Amino acid sequence: MSDELVLEMRGIRKEFPGVVANDDVSFDVRRGEVHALLGENGAGKSTLMNILYGLYRPDAGEIRLNGKPVLFGSASDAIEAGIGMVHQHFMLIPVMTVAENVVLGTEPVKDGVLLDEAAAEKRVADMAKTFKFAVEAGALVQDIGVGQQQRVEIMKALYRNADILILDEPTAVLTPQEALDLFEILRTLQREGISIVFISHKLNEVLEIADRITVLRRGKTIETVPRDGATERSLARAMVGRDVLLRVEKPPSQAGDVLLEVEDLWVSDDRGIEKVRGVSFEVRAGEIVGIAGVDGNGQTELIEALTGLRRAERGVIRVGGRKLHQSSARDVLDAGLGHIPEDRQRRGLVLEFSLAENIALHDYGEPPDSKWGWLFPGRLVERARRLIQEFDVRGGGPLTPAGALSGGNQQKVVAAREISRDPKALIAAQPTRGLDVGAIEYLHRRIVAERDEGRAILLVSLELDEIFSLSDRILVLYEGEIVGKHEGAVSEEQIGFEMVGLKEEAPA
Amino acid sequence: MSEPKKDLVESPEQAAETGTLAARLSLGQRAGGIAVPIVTVVLAFLLGGLVVLATGHNPLLAYRDIFDGAGLNWIFHPTTSTQALSAYNLTQTLLQSTTLIFTGLAVAFAFRCGMFNIGGEGQYIVGLVVANWIGVNFAGMSTLPHVLIAIIGATLAGAAWAGIAGVLKATTGAHEVISTIMLNWIAIYTATWLFGAGGPLQTTAPGQSTNPVSSDIAHTAELPVIWGAKGFQGLDIGFFIAIAALVVFWALINRTTLGFEVRAVGFNPDAAAYGGINVKKNLIRAMAISGAFAGLGGAVDMLGYLYHYGSLDVQNSAAGGVGFIGIAVALLGRNTAVGVFLGSLLFGGLIYGTTQGLSSSVIQPELASNVTLIIEGLVVLFIGADLLILYVWNSRKRLRRQPPAQAPAKATA
Amino acid sequence: MSAWSQSLDNPVSERLRDPATTGYVALGLGAFAAFLAIPPIEARSPAWPVAVGIVAIALGIWTATRGRRKLGYGAVVAGLLGIGLGILATRSGTGNLETAFDATLIDQTFGLATPLVFGAIAGMFSERSGVINIGLEGMMLMGAFFGVYGSDKGGSWVVGLLIGMASGGLLALVYAFFAIHLRSDQIVGGTAVNFLAVGITGYFFQLVYNGQVSGNVSTVPNVHISGLGNFLESSIGNLSLLTWASFALVILAYIVLFKTPIGLRIRACGEHPRAADTVGINVYVIRYCCVVLSGLLVAIGGVYLSLGPQGNGTFIFDMTSGKGFIALAAMIFGNWRPAGAFAAALLFGFSNALALKLQVYSPQASTLFAILPYVLTLVAVAGVIGRTVAPAADGKPYAKQ
């Protein structure tokens, strides 16, 4: 590793409607180094790298490659310049072989017209051997493991002579063992003179592999430090920060009976990887339990299991004392569990339906909305009108299609529907994602109000502020396990540490 | 703010882009209201007229003759006597429209649930066959029960025929377009065999043993005629049954829990499932109801004016058969009851007006009927493309709904 | 590639133990049971088909209980059918049998399969690039009419072939514009294209020929091969030039699609267009070209219908009568691969030819036999014989970011 700078990004600014993703960010990479880009969700890491890879244009700032200023109009330009990117969502074709995927677009040819499969396989096999990838050139991508698929993506970049490799949250899809294998490979690549940008939010990994670390927070560069001298604590402090944020005024909770209970829950995702590992907790009437954690640590699967959209491998879920066994979404709803889903446009609302119809989405089959299968739209509209007023939904009336509303108002409709069903327990998953401040404030106040009505509320959020603002108790989810349980006063730092897997105690 | 979670192959933007079929078709409906279908039709007629013009005929005169052929000139000289040509033509147009109402409703209902029922033709034929069989046998009954049983039988048959495709889709994921097309041809060939020389349903009338046609239904199974003379294919009460079917369609879709579920599944199966709706059950149900409409159409036609059906008739239906025209009717009518009604009138007039009704020196019926097909094709093409919506509607409003899924993806880091 | 075909690399012993192997053998035995009773073997005792059929059923049950249920039940059905058909054949007179099952059956099979082969390969190119082409029926029809028109006005069948191809390609271009550029729903668009084709060809047929093509129109010649011996000469000694061309097309299609870089890129566009885009492949251009190509190819099939041995230079309204859809079915049945599509097209051609031959018994039988391709496709689509796997991005419009 030398001091020569292969890449410089200075003063980068990028704005999207409503949010400044990168604010005067500077970042540079030396030849042959592994430079980690560290930050929480929303810190601006991916945006910065997408700019580098030519997918976005920066609003301001400049990029220099080996000293020369460059401007990329597309990914092809970036690839040509020697920049390779391994995205979180792989760009691989499952039914084709490894070799075919790697050479696609720059295929070796024989006899002028025919595809030289043998040459392709040989080149890929050689590459695999040089870098110790342990991937067979002739294997189908759909048959190989995720770790190997990632290596195929890396090979794609290397095949196009990348000398800067960007890896976006590469360990998000890997098992711990696969992550170790990846680090080995990165070290090998380093030795070959390839510079690596490693985007992550996981402290331990970053300290393991990086030579230098740049921390981003809320779109700004906080610091760039060499690995020597950096500790998990110092990095965590830089990542999480000490900003004091908006808090909702709330009276202390009066907790009652246990209304939602989870015992030793294990849930796997579609690929069979255990995402929730032995989680147990309870939520009482009149309290808000917040589950904090970085995205990808099992929150989605936990919620899916609780709401009946996914079967748990083992464990017990009880709502209002009643055990839910292999339940469907319908059963869970009937048992008294309400759910404000993460992805309101895909799961929560039928955008083409009117507000009245969306509000009736669970209960349309029962009186007063319908009887013997006959719908009474008038009653739907009546109920919707009441709820629209109560929840201060703006942008339309009961007959307006849900798609015409702003995100905040859509979320209010979802909340209105769930809360009006008088559930015993309410799960709020990312309830304020993508909303403006006013809507956030309203929903927060509403959630607290429902708590005071005696409901048990489980809040799952990636926003620490939200967790702190609303929760009476905080649980921290890391890699599928509850690693921290806090009641009463706890510092943001402490939670932040636990969220990234740090076992140390933060200073009091 | 996190990346929306998707599996490894698909990216977030891709998923947000192409909504369900029902959503896209309804987008069109709300976007342009009545303007879009009107503009579509005008454009289609224009292009059809160009073809006519390019081959040396006067399109305006040709269209006027088609208008007369359809009996629409009756509006100018109304009379109840069907001795008048315009009145007679009008009854025939309405007869044709009756059939199209049923097949149009069939296609429209399936579209509401997000599925494309191309099998209207086969379901219609199945209805015809069953109605004929019931009509021919059981001659001893009095009229009302005989007619009712024939109608119910045909409706159930149509429902079952379409239900096969529904079940295949729900259980194996087989695409309903392929399965309904296959079922169409199976129905067509089976009917050809049934009515063919030596087939089980061939006519047993003396001296007709080589005629590949079915027996006539018993008089007790015939529907009463309300306008015109029975022997001369007068307009029967089937027209009112069709109107009733339109009302039933509207009620089912907009006033029942069944319709609520069907629409939810058509727009957003994920949200529907989350709301507790059984998606698979609804897919099957929607296809079955869709087929029921088409089968009912077959019954009404058989009992109303056809009275018998032959192998040759079956063969003729293969190309521009009523099931296929039903697709154009449904799309033009934006899958609504009113729209299907208007669309069936338009195409009914067009079809009759360019064939038997046409007495024209400007353009021969054979040419004119092909112009109809061209117009049909253009209508379906334009509607399928949301083409006019891009121009008629403010595109900003349309984009606003999709990027909310995209913007967070881009704004994450 | 199904798991079973991949296992062909495994040692023989392992393959024999795989239940799927037994399943396919059972399926074959079921067909063989019927085959026993017809010429050339022409076993006359019903015992033979029954015996073989029972073995097929038994092996089918064994397969089903070993986990491959759909395949096993399919074999059981094949065995039952084989017994039934075999018994039927043994009870029919040998004279009729020999009229029905002679060497010309093979000749007719190839002939009737020809338009299907063109259609299936055409559809395959389009769908492999990611665009569903339901409009094959219409494009084939265009080829049929404009082939006659071109041959008539141009004086030779070569001109007819070229004009026919061009008409199919043109219609395909229109469809491609709507499907790719405007991202319209492809099935609705394809259906529209079929309407248009019937209308356009019908209109011009009426206008130019007043409903009947008279006079001698130059037709596509047959290829005569002599000196092969009686059987071969009746079966393949007199096939149309276009039939031989279709064979060549299958081989060519295989090479292009699986052995050239362009074929790799086409398949990438159909499986994962975004991945293809990120490596610099122009998805739009490839899709356009493949759709137009499919129009050109299927139109050749149409030209065969009108200018080939069956049409002999005539055209009738809606001449294709569903062959385009059968070709689509053949493509699906063949799992979007050239060899599979070819085999499926032959199968459908065979059932068509058999239907015609069986008229020696009764016209009814032939009509019912005509149903067979459609039933087979239903079965295929429902996933009974392995799973048909369409290209992953088939039918989804692609929007560049």
pLDDT tens-digit series, residues A377-427? 888 899 999 999 888 888 888 888 888 887 778 888 998 898 888 888 999
Q: Taking CA C232 as the corner, what is the angle to CA C244 and CA C308, rounded to the nearest 5 degrees?
A: 35
Is the separation of the CB atoms in A214 and A37 below 8 Å? yes
pLDDT at residue C214 above 80?
no
| Total residue length of chain A | 508
Q: Percentage of residues in chain A with pLDDT exceeding 90?
A: 14
Which token pair is C85?
């058909």
Of A90, A346, A370, the CB nearest to B257: A370
Is the confidence at residue B178, as pLDDT, over 90? no
Q: Enumerate the H helices of C129-240 as residue ranges.
A: 136-154, 157-176, 186-209, 230-236
Q: What is the mean pLDDT of residues A178-199?
A: 89
Pairing mode, strands A114-115 and A164-168: unpaired
pLDDT band at B154 (very low <50, low <70, confident <90, very high): very high
Question: For the structural domain made of C102-381, what CATH number should be given?
Answer: 1.10.3470
| Section A20-34 average pLDDT | 88
C contact chains, 3+ CB pairs < 8 A: A, B
C367 vs chain B: nearest CA distance in angstroms?
Answer: 6
| Omega of the bond leading into C40 within 30 degrees of 0 (cis) | yes
Best-predicted range by mean pLDDT (B66-75, B266-275, C291-300, C318-327)? C291-300
C367 touches chain B (CB under 8 A): yes
Banded pLDDT at B5 (limits 50, 70, 90): very low
Interval A179-202 mean pLDDT: 88
Residues with Cβ within 8 Å of B396's Cβ and at least 6 positions away in sequence, in order, are none
Helix or strand holding residue B226 (H, E): strand B225-227
Instruction: Give domain limits for chain B.
Output: 19-402
Buried b (16+ CB within 10 A) or exposed e, A86-115: bbbbbbbbbbbbbbbbbbbbebbeeeeeeb
pLDDT, average across residues A483-503: 78
What is the per-residue pLDDT across A93-105, written as a single tens digit (0 to 9) for each?
A: 988 999 999 999 8
Tell me whether residues A329 and B272 touch, CB distance under 8 A: no
Q: How confident is the model at residue C125 (pLDDT cuts 50, 70, 90)?
A: very high
Per-residue pLDDT tens over the stretch C229-266: 777 777 777 888 899 999 999 999 999 999 999 999 99
* Residue-wise DSSP of C22-60: HHHHHHHHHHHHHHTTSTTT---STHHHHHHHHHHHHHH
Say if residues C67 and C77 touch (Cβ distance below 8 Å).
Answer: no
What residue segments make up the domains of chain A, in order of their start? Answer: 5-240, 258-499
Taking an 8 Å cut-off on Cβ atoms, the answer to whether A39 and B413 are in contact is: yes
Segments making up each domain of chain C, as ranges: 3-99, 102-381
Section B283-306 average pLDDT: 91
Q: Kindly report the nearest CA distance between residue C41 and chain B, in angstroms.
A: 31
pLDDT: which is higher, B362 or B334: B334
Quote the mean pLDDT of chain A. 84
Per DSSP, chain C holds a count of helices (H) and strands (E) of: 19, 2
Q: What is the pLDDT of residue C309?
A: 86
Most confident of A136-140, B312-316, C386-390: A136-140
pLDDT at residue B243 greater than cutoff 90: yes
Tokens of A455: 């409901």
Test A92 with C261 for CB contact under 8 angstroms.
Answer: no
Per-residue pLDDT, C122: 96
Regarding an ipTM greater than 0.85, the answer is no
Instruction: Report the side by side order of strands in the sheet with A473-478.
Output: A337-340, A425-429, A456-461, A287-292, A473-478, A481-487
Confidence of residue C1 (pLDDT cuts 50, 70, 90): very low
Give A333's contacts (C-beta < 8 A, 6+ positions apart).
A308, A362, A421, B276
pLDDT-based confidence at residue A252 (cuts at 50, 70, 90): confident
pLDDT digits (tens, 9 = 90+) for A444-477: 888 888 888 888 999 998 877 788 888 989 999 9
Work out the number of other CB atoms within 10 angstroms of the CB of residue A33: 22
**Please, what CATH class does the domain formed by A5-240 belong to?**
alpha beta
In this complex, which chains have at least 3 CB pairs below 8 Å with chain A? Answer: B, C
Higher pLDDT, A145 or B250: B250
Q: State yes or no: pLDDT of A155 exceeds 70.
A: yes
Say if residue A129 is exposed, middle or buried (CB neighbours under 10 Å; 0-12, 13-18, 19+).
Answer: exposed
**B199 CB within 8 Å of a chain A CB:** no
pLDDT score, position B407: 32
Interface of C with B in 307-336 (CB under 8 A): 317-318, 321-322, 325, 328-329, 332
Model pLDDT, residue B210: 65
Identify whether the C-beta of residue A305 lies closer than 8 Å to the C-beta of residue A317: yes
Task: In whole angstroms, give the CA distance from residue A166 to residue B256.
Answer: 54
Contact A96 C267 (CB under 8 A): yes
Average pLDDT over residues A74-88: 84
Contacts of C32 (CB under 8 A, 6+ apart): C52, C56, C82
Using 50, 70 and 90 to split pLDDT, how confident is the model at A507? low
**Residue B253 contacts by C-beta under 8 Å, 6 or more apart in sequence?**
B109, B112, B259, B262, B263, B337
Residue B221 has pLDDT above 60, yes or no: yes
Whether residue A368 is preceded by a cis peptide bond, meaning omega within 30 degrees of 0, is: yes
More confident residue, C333 or C339: C339
Instruction: Give per-residue pLDDT as tens, A339-367.
Output: 888 777 777 888 888 899 999 888 888 87
What's the rounded mean pLDDT across residues B89-101?
Answer: 87
Q: How confident is the model at residue B403 (pLDDT cuts 50, 70, 90)?
A: very low
User: Is the pLDDT at C218 greater than 90, yes or no?
Assistant: no
Half-sphere exposure of B386 (CA within 13 A, CB side): 25
**Candidate from C204, C322, C367 with C-beta closest to B318:** C322
**Which residue from C41, C47, C18 is spatially nearest to C94, judged by alpha carbons?**
C41
Could you list the beta-strand ranges (E) of B306-410.
none
Residue A505 confidence (pLDDT): 65
Contact A93 C271 (CB under 8 A): yes
| Identity of the highest mean pLDDT range in A484-488, B191-195, C200-204, C220-224 | C200-204
As a whole number, mean pLDDT of residues A21-42 equals 86
Summarize pLDDT for A298-328 with one digit per residue, the tens: 888 898 888 887 888 888 888 888 888 767 7
Query: Is domain A258-499 annotated with CATH 3.50.50.100?
Result: no
Give me chain C's average pLDDT, please. 82
pLDDT for res A112: 79
Alpha carbon distance A489, A494 (integer Å): 11
Distance of CA C171 to the CA centre of its chain: 21
Percentage, residues of chain A above pLDDT 70? 94
Distance from CA of C331 to the nearest CA of A (A): 18
Which residues in chain C (124-163) have CB-CB distances under 8 A to chain B?
134
Looking at residue B395, its pLDDT comes to 42
- The answer to whether C15 faces chain A, any CB pair under 8 Å, is no
pLDDT at B208 over 70: no
Q: Average pLDDT in the C143-151 region?
A: 92
Query: Smallest Cβ distance to A109: which of C261, C275, C279?
Result: C261
Which pLDDT value is given to residue B8?
A: 26
Closest approach of C267 to chain A, Cα-based (Å): 9
For B276, which of A357, A362, A462 is closest by C-beta distance? A362
Query: How many CB contacts within 8 angstroms connect chain B with chain C?
Result: 164
Per-residue confidence (pLDDT) for residue B209, from 0 to 100:
64
Put simply, the answer to whether A76 touches C272 (Cβ < 8 Å) is no
Confidence at residue B7, expressed as pLDDT on a 0 to 100 scale: 28
Lowest mean per-residue pLDDT among A61-70, C66-75, C103-112: C66-75
pLDDT value of position B19: 59
User: Which residues make Cβ contacts (< 8 Å) with residue B92, sequence separation at least 6?
Assistant: B71, B233, B352, B356, B357
- For the residues A115-127, what does the mean pLDDT come to? 88
Of B192, B320, B331, the CB nearest to C198: B320
**Domain A5-240 matches domain A258-499 at the CATH topology level:** yes
Instruction: Output the pLDDT for position B394.
Output: 43
Q: Taking 80 as the threshold, does the pLDDT of residue C391 lie above it?
A: no
How does pLDDT run across C274-294, given as a tens digit for each residue? 888 878 788 999 999 999 999
Task: Give C207 to chain B, closest Cα distance, Å.
Answer: 7
Confidence check: pLDDT of A26 > 70: yes
Query: How much is the average pLDDT of C171-184?
Result: 90
Contact indicator for B4, A345 with CB cutoff of 8 Å: no
Q: Using 50, 70 and 90 to split pLDDT, how confident is the model at A222?
A: confident
- The shortest CB-CB distance from A89 to any of B6, B260, B405 is to B6
Q: Is the pLDDT of residue C336 over 70?
A: yes
CA distance to A310, B108, B163, B276, per residue, from B281 (Å): 20, 19, 11, 12
- Over 60: is that where the pLDDT of C387 sits? no
With CB atoms and an 8 Å threshold, state whether A90 touches B2: no
For testing contact with chain C, the best of A104, A107, A110, A149 (most C CBs within 10 A): A104
pLDDT of residue B400: 45
Residue pair C280/C268 in contact by the 8 Å Cβ criterion = no
| CATH classification code of B19-402 | 1.10.3470
Cα separation of B273 and B282, whole Å?
Answer: 11
